[in-house]
Amino acid sequence: MPRASIFVTCIVDQLFPKVGVAMLEVLERIGWQVDFPERQTCCGQPAFNTGFRDEARTVARHFLDVFRDAEYIVVPSGSCTTMIAHHYAELFADEPEWLALSHRIEPRIWEFSKFLLEVARVEEVGAHLERVATFHDSCHGLRGLGIKDGPRRLLSHVRGLSLREMDAAEECCGFGGTFCVKFPEISGGMARTKIDSIMRSGADLVVGVDASCLLQIQGALSRAGLAIGTMHLAEVLAHR
């Protein structure tokens, strides 16, 4: 039986644990043995994005140590996957040993939807959900990893699900990590633009591959009093 390790990310661990469970359920359903290293913490992205590079390196070293022997590392986040696959090389440019380890791990780190399609090579996972959904393209997933058609292909095989495109699918939701805290008015304006587009789509559910984006979007929807929900792709695919 093939084996994969899962890295659940900070936001999933603290705010959306059901996403991690859903990812586990889908991977096991398609025949993978799943390992959850209990020493895992954070990838270091929050510190990296706010300029605390020494602190980011400390966290990143721990990640590399925890996952150094993993054959595959599956992550329910385009954002965290981008951090590990693309920015660790920048963090460890002056530390040859850690740089070499980060390069060895780079090809093993996979965002969840890309793992299903490109490693497991499955599109149909036996999901069933009676909803009208629209898909939000998260910035890191789309621009950092080229994730665009893959999640839509997976969603097209979910029985009962109707997928409707929004006209601003590729526009940022305004979360941006600490951006939403430092620039709340701009962040809020971006979120309102996004929910206007969601409403025009006629969907009653927003699906994404980053829990951080869904946190921002759900907050904006709730403040607007709209009965539109959000679900991570893993939750949709786990639904039967």
Tens of pLDDT, residue by residue over 194-210, are 899 999 999 999 999 99
- CB-based contacts of 59-65 (< 8 A; 24+ apart in sequence): 60/84, 60/88, 60/91, 60/92, 60/98, 60/102, 61/98, 63/7, 64/88, 64/98, 64/101, 64/102, 64/105
The Cα 101–Cα 68 span in angstroms is: 7
Q: Does position 175 have pLDDT exceeding 80, yes or no?
A: no
Q: Is this prediction's pTM over 0.85?
A: yes
Whole-number pLDDT of residue 172: 87
Q: Enumerate residues 6+ apart whose C-beta is below 8 A from 237.
A: 22, 26, 116, 125, 127, 154, 158
pLDDT per position as a tens digit, 107-164: 999 999 999 999 999 999 999 999 999 999 999 899 999 999 999 999 999 999 999 9
Query: What's the pLDDT at 120?
Result: 98
* Contacts of 101 by beta carbon, 8 Å cutoff, 6+ apart: 64, 68
Asked if 89 and 103 count as a contact pair (C-beta separation under 8 A), the reply is: yes
Q: Look at residue 206 in the predicted model and tell me its pLDDT.
A: 97
CB 173 within 8 A of CB 140: no
Given the structure tokens 């043995």, which residue do they identify?
A: 33
Domains and CATH numbers, the chain: 3-118 (no CATH), 125-238 (3.40.50.10700)
Helix, strand, coil shares of the chain as percentages rounded to 5?
55, 15, 30
Mean pLDDT of 42-59: 94
